[in-house]
Chains A and B, each alone.
Chain A
Amino acid sequence: MADLTTTAPRAVTNPRATLQDLLPKIVLAPSFALILIFVYGFIVFTGFLSFSGSKLLPDFSTWVGLNNYVRLFNHPNWITALKNLAIFSVLYIVVCSFIGLALAIFLDQKIRGEGFLRPIYLYPMALSFIVTGVAWKWFLDPGIGLEHVMQSWGWESFSFRWIKEGQMAIYTIVIAAVWQSSGFVMAMFLAGLRGVDNEIIKAAQIDGASTLTIYRRIIIPLMRPVFLSAFVVLAHLAIKSYDLVVAMTDGGPGTATWTPALFMQKFTFGRNEMGMGAASAIIMMMMIFAIIVPYLYSELGGKKK
């Protein structure tokens, strides 16, 4: 009886059935349209800008070809930004992965208080980079921070003023960024370790392999997908790094800690070089896509099989 009453209207109102068929697409369409315009349309817009002579405002009347890119790669500030990105991303990725893996392996040894320690390692991920920046900026400040503390404890000659030194300032940003993200990498590895099949480990133990060997030869090689995920996440965070630098040094001393994101911002909105700013944004996007696109392709493709 209930079946009859519910199926009846559908049979009668055939035109409505086509509306029902279209409804899913109608629901999805606004989101997809917004993404098409605000992401892909805007990428094209910025792409055009990078070939234009725009200064303070978008200006599509003068075309300068690749001139903005040529000027970009001849500009000392952009070169500084690329060097900083190289230093920052290599150290950030390597140190985060190392700390993350080590902490995960240690935590995986049936540690008492794991439930207490794990949230402590991870909480920095909940903070804004601006908050992290403020904390580390003052903690590393020679006047009141670490140097001052050590000297007041009687180590008079202790000196740590990296944040004020052009050569070293970028490393203080690495310290703060590692502090923020390494717990997250730990969580990724821990999830990976917990997914390892116990049978394999037991078999190796019966064969007389030491714990060290088991980790080196069996478990860590099994973590390859986690390494890959961590690399992708950290690399794309490194290329985007902006807030932390603004909060800690604002690019200083001088231009010593400029990153590509900072360059884009300063040139577009500070120096009225919109064409060059757009070109720098395009380069940033190409760097990220070079990492992300193959990754997503393999992830999505692998799932279908």
Chain B
Amino acid sequence: MSAASQDVATRNSIFVRAIIYVVLILFAIYYLLPLYVMVVNSLKPLDEIRQGNMLALPKQWTIAPWLSAWSTAQIGVQPVGLKPYFINSVLMVVPAVALSTILGALNGYVLTKWRFKGDNIVFGLMLLACFIPFQIVLIPSARILGLTGLAGTITGLVLIHAIYGLGFTTLFFRNYYEAFPTELVRAAQIDGASFFQIFRRILLPSSGPIIVVTVIWQFTNIWNDFLFGSSFSGFNSIPLTVALNNLVNSSTGVKEYNVHFAGAILAALPTLIVYIVSGRYFVRGLMAGAVKG
């Protein structure tokens, strides 16, 4: 009797397994489809997109849309392509990520190894700051940037991104250092090691993974930001996401879909490469940001 039912179960499960594989593969196609559409159509001449089929491979392969998106496409009033904006984004991301990561590491260190009265309140306030809708700080931020003469500059954007990234970087390092044995810190303290010596010699050497997680998280968020970029950038500091949106949504002229797709891939490439090279750390960052374990 039981053998028979097991038999049914196994036969059933072969059928069920087939369905599971089909569903999983269909979803893989769903997730890959937009990327496929972007890549394929960025390599076609414009006529082929208009008359042909978006899902078809190019009949006539061309890299002209890529060259145009990079260096000659009309963005706003200037036919300069996305290149200068790509550079703006790099100049904005690198210092902002470095600043927020370093401060986050020090904050995490203090909040776990040099606890003081009220440290939980300090941490709670920094944590809550991660989740505010940035609309609430747009007007005063614009005001402060204007008063300090940083409006429309890359420096201004760096500061804004570094400050509003502090909550998350502090959270990451705090949770990581929480698990680090405090006895080691106390022992070093008794041996006369200073605050910074302990950080540099004892915590930093084992912080590799969390630094990678934090840097990837900050890099992805700041590179992909649109709200701050569109609100606070000036003529010479427009980041790539804003330029891409200007390229695609400009109402004048012919819509060069192939150039739009090439531009979109260009904008996505840095974060995609980071994801492909170090996906494990990327996922860890996402999880750490979501589940405050």
Contacts and interface: CB of A to CB of B under 8 A. Distances in A.
Interface of A: 3, 6-7, 9-10, 20, 23-25, 27-28, 30-32, 34-36, 38-43, 45-46, 49, 58, 99, 102-103, 106-107, 109, 111, 117, 119-139, 143-146, 148-149, 152-153, 179, 183-184, 187-188, 191, 210-211, 225-226, 229-230, 232-233, 236, 239-240, 242-243, 246-247, 250, 260-261, 264-265, 268-269, 274, 277-278, 280-282, 284-285, 288-289, 292-293, 296, 299-300
A66 to B, nearest CB: 18
B226 A35 contact: no
A284 B292 contact: no
Contacts of A132: 34
B292 A43 contact: no
Contacts of A6: 191-192
Given A128-B267, A145-B54, A31 B133 contact: no
B131 A288 contact: yes
Nearest to B133: A284
Interface string B123-141: 0111111011111111111
Say whether chain B's binding surface is mostly helix, strand, loop, or mixed: helix
Contact of A120 (B31, B114, B124, B226): B31
B32 A120 contact: yes
Contact of A148 (B9, B53, B271): B53
B49 A123 contact: no
A111 B184 CA distance: 43
Interface in B128-168: 128-129, 131-141, 143-144, 163-164, 166-167
Given A111-B21, A210-B9, A265-B135, 12 more contacts: A3-B191, A23-B194, A23-B195, A58-B139, A109-B17, A109-B20, A124-B31, A126-B275, A135-B38, A138-B257, A264-B135, A284-B133
**In this complex, which of B52, B137, B223, B282 has the most chain A Cβ atoms within 10 angstroms of its Cβ?**
B137
Contacts of A39: 125, 129, 132, 137, 164
Given A268-B138, A274-B139, A149 B132 contact: no
Contacts of B107: 27-28, 31
Interface of B: 9, 13, 17, 20-21, 23-24, 27-28, 30-35, 37-38, 41, 49-50, 52-55, 103, 106-107, 110-111, 114, 116, 120, 122, 124-129, 131-141, 143-144, 163-164, 166-167, 170, 190-192, 194-196, 220, 223-227, 230-231, 241, 244-245, 248-249, 257, 260-261, 263-265, 267-268, 271-272, 274-276, 279, 282-283, 286-287, 290-292
Given A24-B114, A183-B31, A296-B127, A131 B53 contact: no
Say whether chain A's binding surface is mostly helix, strand, loop, or mixed: helix
Contacts of A211: 13
Contacts, number: 272
B244 A130 contact: yes
A243 B249 CA distance: 13
A302 to B, nearest CB: 10
A127 B271 contact: yes
A36 B125 contact: yes
B163 A58 contact: no
A282 B136 contact: yes
B53 A103 contact: no
B136 A43 contact: yes
Nearest to A10: B192
A124 B254 CA distance: 29
B226 A242 contact: yes
A293 B21 CA distance: 40
A42 B287 contact: no
